[in-house]
A = this chain, B = another copy of it.
Amino acid sequence: MSNTNQLYIPTFEDVKAAHQRIAPYIHRTPVLTSSYFDSLCGAELFFKCENFQKAGAFKVRGACNAVFGLSDEKAAKGVATHSSGNHALSLSYAAGRRGIKATVVMPRTAPEAKKAAVRGYGGEVLECEPSTTAREEMLEQLVARTGADFVHPYNDHRVIAGQGTCSLELYQEIEALDAVVAPIGGGGMISGTCLTLSNVSPRTAIYAAEPKNADDVYRSFHAGEIIEDDSPQTVADGLKVGLRPRTWHFVSKYVSDVLLATEAEIIDAMYLTWQRMKIVIEPSSAVPLATILKNKSLFEGKRVGVILTGGNVDL
């Protein structure tokens, strides 16, 4: 698959450059607190609200960094990806802002609502048979035919650097965080968080929060190598994908621990957040709070950043 700098690991300089590059196209999202959750957890929690982000999720940071970092010549050929989730919406949004074409390869069996959402942000949907092979073949043909730039949802240095801007904003706003907890699927957000915090605040522990039903990162972390899940089933549908070399680099090097939550714990944490904080978050975003609630002693008395990654949930 065509992807420039396949082995390049992004640096903190890339994060700072990304932040400048994407600033006009993203929201600087607020950090909210909740006296209810503080008292429930015995900790001070700081919620970085990427559910309020453009296109409804943090993914727009990485997508904008990739899209706006292209030369005019390269940009004219458009961008492409495979995703049926937030990355597809974000890439479509970013391409729309630059005035270029975004093509998203999606299985023909994907829900019509997801295809419509991509089209709503100006992206074009290209349907493939529902298999990994078919998806990769179609994307490869598309790139060969059009010269479109492939923007992987997370195994892309531009995307990781973009996601790193989220914890950079959190660090700029909230002092002396003892820990940050973020959900993990493919590892784009966690990698960006590791990249930024290992530079600006190495004393801050980084926890990856994962659904127990999709615990490939937990198993990889303890095995010391990437282990893949076999079609995991979880309500946190953004977290079903697996690690790739660039994200494994950061996870294996900087993550303090991987914490698991059951489906019931994730759903409870999601509704509790809706009810007490009056904000809409998607299931993936509830995994960190669910893990904090079941590991209270780990966070007691600490200042903890919590990344609420997105708010795109079917109501």
Name A residues whose Cβ lies closer than 8 Å to a Cβ of B: 30, 32, 51-52, 56, 271, 274-275, 277-281, 311, 315
| Given pairs A30-B30, A274-B315, A279-B280, 15 additional interface contacts (CB within 8 A) | A32-B52, A51-B278, A52-B277, A52-B278, A56-B278, A271-B315, A274-B280, A275-B280, A275-B315, A278-B279, A278-B280, A278-B281, A278-B311, A279-B279, A280-B280
Give the CA-CA distance A280 to B52 in the complex, in Å.
12
Q: List 18 A-B contacts (CB under 8 A).
A: A30-B30, A32-B52, A51-B278, A52-B277, A52-B278, A56-B278, A271-B315, A274-B280, A274-B315, A275-B280, A275-B315, A278-B279, A278-B280, A278-B281, A278-B311, A279-B279, A279-B280, A280-B280
* Residue among A275, A277, A278, A279 with max Cβ neighbours from chain B (10 Å): A278
CB neighbours of A30 from chain B (8 A): 30
When chains A and B are docked, how far (Å) is the Cα of A277 from the Cα of B311? Answer: 9
Provide the residues of chain B in CB contact with A56, threshold 8 Å: 278
Q: Chain copies in the assembly?
A: 2
When C-beta atoms are compared, the residue in chain B nearest to A33 turns out to be B27
- Shortest beta-carbon distance from A185 to chain B in Å: 20
Q: Which 7 A-B pairs have the closest CB atoms?
A: A278-B311, A278-B280, A51-B278, A274-B280, A279-B279, A274-B315, A52-B278
> What distance in Å separates the Cβ of A40 from its nearest Cβ neighbour in chain B?
13
Closest to A32 in B: B52
Measured CA separation A278–B274 after assembly (Å): 9
Complex interface: chain B residues within 8 A of A279 (CB): 278-280
In angstroms, Cα B56 to Cα A271, docked, is 15
Give the CA-CA distance A279 to B281 in the complex, in Å: 9
Give the distance to chain B from A167, nearest Cβ to Cβ, in Å: 20
Name the distance in Å between A292's Cβ and chain B's nearest Cβ.
Answer: 21
- Expressed in whole angstroms, the Cα–Cα distance for A280 and B311 within the complex equals 11
- Complex Cα–Cα for A52 and B52 (A): 14
Nearest B residue to A273, CB-CB: B280
**Which residue of the partner chain B has the closest CB to A35?**
B54
CB nearest to A270 among chain B residues: B315
Closest chain-B Cβ to A277's Cβ sits at a distance in Å of 8
A51 to B278, CA, bound (A): 7
Tell me the complex Cα distance, A275–B30, Å: 18
Return chain B residues, CB-CB under 8 Å to A274. Answer: 280, 315
Min CB distance, A272 to chain B, in Å? 10
A27 to chain B: closest CB distance in Å? Answer: 10
Which residue of the partner chain B has the closest CB to A282? Answer: B278
- CB-defined contacts of A281 to chain B, threshold 8 Å: 278
- Chain B's nearest CB lies how many Å from the CB of A72? 26
